[in-house]
């Protein structure tokens, strides 16, 4: 059997990883400024994380959601404490798309409505409702086009008010900071106004923090820069450092009904142990402070690199915009300098999403490599 060929691949085969580095089968060492697409939060193969998973696997790795699993409550408690979102309930699933799918479904259950407001260039995943609210026609199949979605430009509150005023809106969904779309974000003023209009019209506001959450922006969740409280928050990527998991944080005003949402694998013992360990390490190693320190250092140093047009994003969710397509630059970084980076819909944007443990010295290595290539 062959693989269903859907991914454009770099010709690199990682076989080992530690901290901020990855090694291929020829023992070549790469600096990981991509974190497997913003997934590696506490660094690769963190010894405490490896021990927590191994210990859990030796006890019980999985049982279904038909029996008690105290690790789920432990995770909910810890996530509430570390994120400052104690006043939410948690639904556990397996991926980002699944988190958004459940968030949208819940909003539709609550409002009994079905049209969703999303934003230009949004990416929310590939499953049914999640892909329908994703602004990319090429990944929407005819079956997804049945969903009622209105895409609006970011930062145009008048249009949001106008659409909500029609009375048929089930949810507004927005990324804390856009990821795949190219690191654009709503202004604080816009987020605050959207919050207000959603509240007034009883439309659930869903904050997609799948990529921007878990400390990546320099706050636990990126929306925390704007002093707002969403009704629903979705999270995934950094949550368990690569072990598949997703979470939906749900305002306590929305009451659960038995059977309303569900999944076989979501919240299994191993996933919970991984996610608890990640939160322990984020807290113990003050990783969010590190994100802010390294970010400030990066902002200073990137000014010394020629041809940089703009820096976008926050914390360790960053885009460096050049006035040329970065495809060749990314190839040179990976094959000549052995540095992993990311791309986006904006072909001129080099994206970096490193583990939150990255040091200033490692950022410096990147800056030196970048200068050597672009100068
Ligand atoms: C903002 C955002 N939402 C949702 C998703 C989908 O997550 P997953 O690939 O885990 O389904 C992604 C993935 O890149 C994302 O960046």
Note the Cα 212 to chain centre separation in Å.
Answer: 5
With vertex at residue 155, the alpha carbon angle to CA 152 and CA 161, rounded to the nearest 5 degrees, is 65
- Place 31 in a pLDDT band, splitting at 50, 70 and 90: very high
26: CA distance to ligand 1 center in Å?
31
* Residue 353 phi, psi dihedral angles, 5° rounding: -140, 60
Is residue 351 lining ligand 1, measured as CB closer than 6 Å? no
CA–CA distance, 61 with 49 (Å, rounded to integer): 15
Half-sphere exposure of 296 (CA within 13 A, CB side): 6
Cβ proximity of 203 and 165 under 8 Å: no
Q: What is the pLDDT of residues 227-248, one digit of tens each?
A: 999 999 999 999 999 999 999 9
Is residue 330 lining ligand 1, measured as CB closer than 6 Å? no
Is residue 125 lining ligand 1, measured as CB closer than 6 Å? yes
Which of 179, 246, 344 to mutate to test ligand 1, by most ligand atoms within 8 A of the CB atom? 179
CA–CA distance, 108 with 111 (Å, rounded to integer): 5
Mean pLDDT over 49-75 rounds to: 97
Mean pLDDT over 93-119 rounds to: 98
Which of 93, 118, 121, 124 to mutate to test ligand 1, by most ligand atoms within 8 A of the CB atom? 124
In sequence order, the 6+-apart residues with CB closer than 8 A to the CB of 92 are 72, 75, 245, 246, 247, 248, 263, 266, 267, 271, 272
CA–CA distance, 364 with 302 (Å, rounded to integer): 9
265: CA distance to ligand 1 center in Å?
18
Mean pLDDT across the chain:
97
Ligand 1 atom closest to the Cα of residue 179 is: 16
CA–CA distance, 372 with 296 (Å, rounded to integer): 22
Mean pLDDT over 221-230 rounds to: 98
CA–CA distance, 124 with 234 (Å, rounded to integer): 10
Is residue 173 lining ligand 1, measured as CB closer than 6 Å? no
372: CA distance to ligand 1 center in Å?
33
233: CA distance to ligand 1 center in Å?
13
Cβ proximity of 165 and 152 under 8 Å: no
Q: The sheet that has 246-251: what strands, in order across it?
A: 88-93, 246-251, 232-235, 205-208, 169-175, 115-119, 149-152
Nearest to 33 by CA among 275, 374, 334: 334
* This prediction's pTM: 0.98
Is residue 95 lining ligand 1, measured as CB closer than 6 Å? yes
Q: Tell me, what's the pLDDT at 173? A: 99
Ligand 1 atom closest to the Cα of residue 127 is: 11
- Place 128 in a pLDDT band, splitting at 50, 70 and 90: very high
Mean pLDDT over 293-303 rounds to: 98
In sequence order, the 6+-apart residues with CB closer than 8 A to the CB of 232 are 103, 106, 107, 171, 204, 205, 206, 207, 248, 249, 250, 251, 254
Q: Tell me, what's the pLDDT at 110? A: 98
Q: What is the pLDDT of residues 179-209, one digit of tens each?
A: 999 999 999 999 999 999 999 999 999 999 9
Residue 191 Cα distances to 73, 205, 275, 325, angstroms? 30, 10, 28, 31
Mean pLDDT over 205-219 rounds to: 98
Is residue 163 lining ligand 1, measured as CB closer than 6 Å? no
The percent of residues in the chain predicted with pLDDT above 70, rounded, is: 100
In sequence order, the 6+-apart residues with CB closer than 8 A to the CB of 41 are 35, 214, 215, 216, 237, 238, 239, 241, 278, 282, 287, 355, 356
């Amino acid at each position: 059997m062959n693989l269903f060929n859907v991914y454009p691949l770099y010709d690199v085969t990682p076989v080992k990883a530690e901290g901020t580095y990855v090694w291929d089968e020829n023992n070549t060492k790469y600096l990981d400024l991509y974190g497997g697409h913003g997934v590696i939060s506490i660094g690769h193969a963190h010894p405490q994380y490896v021990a927590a998973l191994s210990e859990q696997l030796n006890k019980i790795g999985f049982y279904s959601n038909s029996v008690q699993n105290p690790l789920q409550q432990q995770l909910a408690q810890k996530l509430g404490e570390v994120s400052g979102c104690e006043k939410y309930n948690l639904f556990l699933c397996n991926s980002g798309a699944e988190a958004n799918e459940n968030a949208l479904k819940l909003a539709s259950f609550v409002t009994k409505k079905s049209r969703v407001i999303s934003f230009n260039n949004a990416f929310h995943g590939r499953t049914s409702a999640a892909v329908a609210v994703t602004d990319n026609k090429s990944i929407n199949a005819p079956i997804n086009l049945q969903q009622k979605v209105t895409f609006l430009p970011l930062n145009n509150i008048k249009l949001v008010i106008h659409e909500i005023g029609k009375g048929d809106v089930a949810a507004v969904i927005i990324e804390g900071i856009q990821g795949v779309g190219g690191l654009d974000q709503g202004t604080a003023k816009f987020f605050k106004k959207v919050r207000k209009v959603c509240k007034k019209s009883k439309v659930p506001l869903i904050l997609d923090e799948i990529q921007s959450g878990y400390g990546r922006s320099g706050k636990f969740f990126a929306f925390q820069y704007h002093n707002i409280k969403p009704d629903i928050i979705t999270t995934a990527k950094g949550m368990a450092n690569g072990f598949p998991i997703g979470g939906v944080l749900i305002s306590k005003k929305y009451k659960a009904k038995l059977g309303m949402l569900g999944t076989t694998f979501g919240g299994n013992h191993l996933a919970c142990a991984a996610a608890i360990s990640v939160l322990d390490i984020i807290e113990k190693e003050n990783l969010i402070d590190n994100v802010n320190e390294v970010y400030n250092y990066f902002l200073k140093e990137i000014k010394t690199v020629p041809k940089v047009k703009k820096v976008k994003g926050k914390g360790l969710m960053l885009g460096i915009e050049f006035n040329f397509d970065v495809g060749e630059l990314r190839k040179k970084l990976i094959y000549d300098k052995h540095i992993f980076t990311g791309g986006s819909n904006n072909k001129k944007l080099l994206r970096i999403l490193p583990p939150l443990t990255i040091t200033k010295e490692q950022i410096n290595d990147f800056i030196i490599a970048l200068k050597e290539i672009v100068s």
